[in-house]
Amino acid sequence: MELHALLRFLHITSFAAWFGTVLSSLFLLKTLEKRLTDPESDSKAYASLLQHYIRLETKVADVAFIGVILSGILLAGLYHGWTIRVFVKSGLIVLQVALTLGYIMRSIRPLTYPCSISQYQSWYRLFGISLSMFALVLLVTFFLL
């Protein structure tokens, strides 16, 4: 297998894994919503489960993100060159990470459980930001540049 094909495979697979971690977290949070917002439920146990899951999910997402970055740098440096497309895509990925981390620090970290449904919806806004940025990266990559 040629190096270019291998790097492209790694780049696409890493991006898909990163995207997949976001979707799996969304599904888990939707499943746990009633248990983390109901004052009558054992929210402490479910909050502990959520924290453990997020720690594991973050490890997978970090590896996938690093895979996207490293394979992207190698693809640009060895095969495609440092074009406007590469800089736009890189900028969008940096923006996605900045927006996501900023929102997590501001709105997700302060949550304690049980919380109100309106507070819990902060999670859904986070996923709205992240999934919108994924869509924007794909739109720009495949249709605009």
What tokens appear for 83 in the block? Answer: 């074009």
pTM: 0.89
E strand intervals along the chain: none
SS3 label, residue 145: coil
Paired tokens of 39:
């004052």
Q: Cβ distance 28 to 50 under 8 Å?
A: yes
pLDDT tens sequence across 51-102:
999 999 999 999 999 999 999 999 999 999 999 989 999 999 999 999 999 9
Number of domains, the chain: 1
CA 143 from chain centre, in angstroms, equals 22
Residue in the block written with tokens 């440092």:
82
The reported pLDDT for the residue numbered 10 is 97
Provide the pLDDT for residue 145: 65
* Domain span at 86: 3-144
Burial 38-55 (b: 16+ CB within 10 A, else e): eeeeebeebbeebeeebe
| 113-145 confidence digits (pLDDT tens) | 999 999 999 999 999 999 999 999 999 888 886
The mean pLDDT value for 16-20 works out to 96
Residues 42 and 60: their CA atoms lie apart, in Å, by 28
Q: Is the dihedral of CA 125, 130, 133, 135 positive or negative?
A: negative
Which pLDDT score is estimated for 143? 87
How does pLDDT run across 24-49, given as a tens digit for each residue? 999 999 999 999 999 999 999 999 99
> Where on the phi/psi map is residue 71: left (φ > 0), alpha (ψ -120 to 50), or beta?
alpha
- Exposed/middle/buried for residue 1 (C-beta within 10 Å: 0-12, 13-18, 19+): exposed
